Structure 1
């Protein structure tokens, strides 16, 4: 399971880094894409914090300057690898409070997979936003990453 999640987080890191690098080259990044990518970074951070039993430094929809994206992204990745490296039971149930103050319990496996799936979902929305703004989206399909 560790190998599986490390591979997924490598792929997630690769995709997000491609978006960050691309955003730095664009004259104007669409506002919606900036909001969505900040949300990807925030949610990843929040889920890592929940797993580690730490308070989150970010709210779900706080917007970060593009210049800060790489540092936040790197820290998210480092934290996720810390989690997967130290995990001895991916079926372990973790209690947490959502952003609305409701209590939930999920397995570590479900929480880690959610981070990846959530990021993929919003990267798809960013690709659509790019197309809607006449910007060619980056190809981020998993199969291309594996080639």
Structure 2
């Protein structure tokens, strides 16, 4: 099952990198919502990985990131994820506190799936915004990715 998650996080990383590059190329044409959404994808990924690793997070959930830093942040997130996949049992229970201060427990693989799904969801929202601005949306579907 670790190979399954490594594949999904490689997809997430590759599509995030593609999206970040496209957004950087078109930064002057973008709206604030796109900036918030791509920042949120990166922030949430980091927050979930640090919760799993029980280390302090660097970012707030809706903290705006500089476009120039996003590639690096995404790479660091992917590296943290690979560290977790290499060192943790996917059926391990993870206790954590949310950004609103509530305590929960989930199995690790549930949290990992959430991060992949969350990233895909918000990339789709970004694509919708791009289209509304007259920009070409990126193809970020998993099945298209696997055809390459």
Correspondence 1:1-147 to 2 at 5 A: 1-26=1-26, 27-87=28-88, 89-147=89-147
Give the C-alpha shift of residue 90 in structure 1: 1.1
Contact 2:30/2:133 (<8 A) preserved: no
Q: In terms of mean alpha carbon deviation, does 19-28 or 96-105 score higher?
A: 19-28
Distance apart, 1:106 and its partner CA: 0.4
CA distance in structure 1 between the aligned counterparts of 2:114 and 2:33, rounded to whole angstroms = 22
SS of equivalent to 1:104: strand
Shift of 1:94: 0.7
Comparing 18-27 with 115-124, greater Cα deviation is found at: 18-27
CA RMSD of aligned residues (A): 0.8
What per-residue deviation string (whole Å, max 9, x for no partner) do you get for residues 64-84 of structure 1? 110010010000000000000
Equivalences, count: 146
CA–CA distance in 2 between the matches of 1:131 and 1:23?
13
Instruction: Provide the TM-score with structure 1 as the length reference.
Output: 0.97
Deviation string for 1:6-65 (max 9, x for gaps)? 000000001100101101211422211110000000000000000000111100000011
SS at match of 2:95: strand
**TM-score in terms of structure 2 length:** 0.96
Q: Secondary structure of 1:136's match?
A: coil
